[in-house]
Amino acid sequence: MLRDFKFHHIGIATFDIEKTAKYYLDAGYKKTNTIKDAIQNVYICFLYKKGMPYIELLSPVDKTSPISKTLEKSGVSPYHCCYMVNDIESAITRLRIKNYILLSKPVIAVALENRKICFLFNKDVGLIEIMEQ
């Protein structure tokens, strides 16, 4: 990552948001409403607890969802970390210099107050999401 990145959340792929969320609710987390993000083809909710990182639960809308393969390979599992950045285009440029591969051009994320997001991959780090402030 880069020094100016701010950690935002851990993304967890799940078959059933409500079933997975129950474990976090039992641990004192609060849950946002689940929404459908048609752009990313997933259902999303966030879980939050004072002093703890946000958790994003994502489940596929259908088999073409980008997280379907993650679920097939790994089952319910964390699969990305998200960082906030001031300027998404600048962050992409700087990450590409560090051997990150841009997997998706920036799009609007309805679950994140219509902020721009994108995903990048580095073989030594894994999948990250960046989100413009």
> What backbone torsions phi and psi does residue 85 show, to the nearest 5 degrees?
-135, 155
CA-closest candidate to residue 58, choices 74, 49, 71, 48: 71
Tens of pLDDT, residue by residue over 82-131, are 999 999 999 999 999 999 999 989 999 888 888 999 999 999 999 999 99
CA-closest candidate to residue 67, choices 44, 90, 98: 44
Tens of pLDDT, residue by residue over 23-80, are 999 999 999 999 999 989 999 999 999 999 999 999 999 999 999 999 999 999 999 9
List domains and CATH numbers for the chain: 6-132 (3.10.180.10)
- List the beta bridge partners of residue 7: 83
